[in-house]
Copies of this chain bind each other. A is one copy, B any other.
């Protein structure tokens, strides 16, 4: 599974970070998925290999503008590219009214259908060919949701050691057995695939949170997850200064939760524009995303990343998360 961050800023864009959007794709797939679509998401997509005709579904975590104001323009541009495939859009019920209102007042007509699925009833979404999706309710100023994405099928793993031990020569028979079929060898032996398959690996699972001040609401969802993507809008210090009104998480709170839950990989995003510098104390009175990273590292011993725009991550079949290309 591939994650490509299209926007990592909270509230407003900065010169280096756009507002929220994250692309998810099964490896090698033409189709891809978008979680949130802040203004300017289509602009970021121009700098990737993603195409608006390959977008299969959009998931909106909540209705704040920095998570959805890019959707009308993205839909319009997909229309100008003569997209015809229907587009699935899952999000709060207000999202459909938002889009309908924009389309009516700006006379936007699309050459493809939009299929809205309301997230409020928290029903699993099983119609995607490669991923099962499950929403989770979070805690924010307005209804906000996380989405978990779980691989629908894992490849069969052939017990190569047993085949070699039993003298079954490598060849087309192996392929048939891996697919679970039955084969008859030249010497008359009949083999059943089920007997030559290793226990299946665990399907990969990724949880992407919307804005949320209570990471523990994701406890059940992350139990069998490899990676959590979560907002860490500021450090604990700044959260105390800002007060609880905005209902965001600090790096410490997310990191402590991820550590307790035993999640192997954590990607923080959605940083307040206060944190302008990449290096500690670089600018803006010393506030830097590195401060958020430092705070998270104090509490979380796993694989931690702080997303930048256009950062690409690979979650491999062993559930190991790494940057792509691999970082230093």
Q: With a CB–CB cut-off of 8 A, which chain B residues contact A107? A: 63-64, 141-142
User: In the complex, what distance in Å separates the CA atom of A47 from the CA atom of B18?
Assistant: 13
* Residue A249 at the chain B interface, CB threshold 8 Å: no
Contact of A101 among B15, B42, B77, B105 (CB under 8 A): B105
Copies of the protein in its oligomer: 2
Interface centre among A64, A68, A77 (most CB of B within 10 A): A77
* Residue A203 at the chain B interface, CB threshold 8 Å: no
User: In the complex, what distance in Å separates the CA atom of A73 from the CA atom of B13?
Assistant: 10
Q: Are B12 and A65 in contact (CB under 8 A)?
A: no
User: In the complex, what distance in Å separates the CA atom of A35 from the CA atom of B46?
Assistant: 25
Known: A19-B73, A39-B72, A107-B142. 12 other contacts (CB 8 A): A12-B76, A12-B77, A13-B43, A15-B47, A39-B42, A40-B40, A65-B102, A69-B106, A98-B105, A101-B105, A102-B102, A107-B141
26 example contacts (A-B, Cβ-Cβ < 8 A) are as follows A11-B80, A12-B42, A12-B76, A12-B80, A13-B42, A15-B46, A19-B73, A39-B39, A39-B69, A39-B70, A39-B73, A40-B40, A43-B43, A63-B106, A63-B107, A64-B107, A65-B76, A65-B102, A66-B76, A69-B76, A94-B105, A94-B106, A95-B105, A97-B105, A98-B102, A102-B102
Q: Which 3 A-B pairs have the closest CB atoms?
A: A101-B101, A98-B105, A39-B73
Q: Which A residues are within 8 Å of any B CB, using their own CB?
A: 11-15, 18-19, 38-40, 42-43, 46-47, 63-66, 68-70, 72-73, 76-77, 80, 94-95, 97-98, 101-102, 105-108, 141-142
